[in-house]
Amino acid sequence: MMFAKVRRQWLLGVVGVALAAGLTTQTYAADNLLQQVKQRGTLIVGLEGTYPPFSFQGEDGKLTGFEVDFANALAEHLGVKAKLNPTKWDGMLASLDSKRIDVVINQVTLSDERKKKYDFSTPYTVSGIQALVKKGNEGTITKPEDLKGKKVGVGLGTNYEQWLRENVQGVDVRTYDDDPTKYQDLRVGRINAILVDRLAALDLVKKT
């Protein structure tokens, strides 16, 4: 099956990505959250679970990836077990706000607005926006202006969607709440390109 090939053209400067490590201080103090986690014996972790190489289902059907390892290591450090809760990105921070999860270990781009509301870890990856196109279409997108008039897939509520709407005129923005459907639509030609994290793009191309 023909699949996408990464374009080595930066579409945006690098962005810091971090772990959202708590709820608002106005909601309750971090030490109370830690006490609740230890009393419960589990750390409820929100992550996408569909975004290799960070979190995804392995061949055995179990969640794997860097962020899964991170979650298990953090839980072990706290003396509890990690309970992984796959969550779509557009509902991830809302789940944190409503206390359905204790922590988000996922690709969360730092912003001044988010830092006012959440505690972040030290960033563990730095990346940028990358365009992927179907094999055979190499060279069709080498700069942001080339996206004009194209059907471009992005994750719903992501920074990629925001950047695309704010920076490219005349683009047909197609939003997705899960990554596999977005990838499949690119495979079969329903869309012309997708915008994803550069590290995820490299991993995706390597496996296809």
User: Could you tell me if 144 and 163 are in contact, meaning their C-beta atoms sit under 8 angstroms apart?
Assistant: no
- For 29-76, the pLDDT digits (tens) are 567 888 999 999 999 999 999 888 899 999 999 999 999 999 999 999
Which of 17-21, 81-85, 165-169 comes out lowest in average pLDDT? 17-21
Q: For residue 124, what pLDDT is reported?
A: 80
Q: Which of 134, 157, 111 is nearest to 5 (CA)?
A: 134
Q: For residue 30, what pLDDT is reported?
A: 66
Specify the CATH class of 4-15+128-206 in words: alpha beta
- For 92-122, the pLDDT digits (tens) are 999 998 989 999 998 888 788 888 888 888 8
DSSP 8-state symbol, 95 = H
Do 4-15+128-206 and 16-125 have matching folds? yes
**Highest mean pLDDT (candidates 2-6, 78-82, 92-96):** 78-82
- Residue 131: strand pairing partners: 195
Q: Are strands 151-155 and 125-127 parallel, antiparallel or unpaired?
A: unpaired
Greater confidence, 139 or 7?
139
Confidence bin at 14 (pLDDT 50/70/90): very low
Out of 3.30.360.10, 3.40.190.10, 3.40.50.1100, 3.40.50.2300, the CATH code matching 16-125 is: 3.40.190.10
Q: Looking at the predicted structure, is the pLDDT value of residue 26 above 70?
A: no
Reduce the DSSP state of residue 201 to 3 states and report it. Answer: helix
Confidence bin at 17 (pLDDT 50/70/90): very low
**Highest mean pLDDT (candidates 80-84, 91-95, 131-135):** 80-84
What residue spans define the domains of the chain? 4-15+128-206, 16-125
Q: Looking at the predicted structure, is the pLDDT value of residue 82 above 80?
A: yes
**CA 183 from centre of chain:** 14
Q: Looking at the predicted structure, is the pLDDT value of residue 126 above 80?
A: no
Q: For residue 129, what pLDDT is reported?
A: 85
User: Could you tell me if 161 and 182 are in contact, meaning their C-beta atoms sit under 8 angstroms apart?
Assistant: no
Average pLDDT of the chain is: 83
Q: For residue 191, what pLDDT is reported?
A: 97
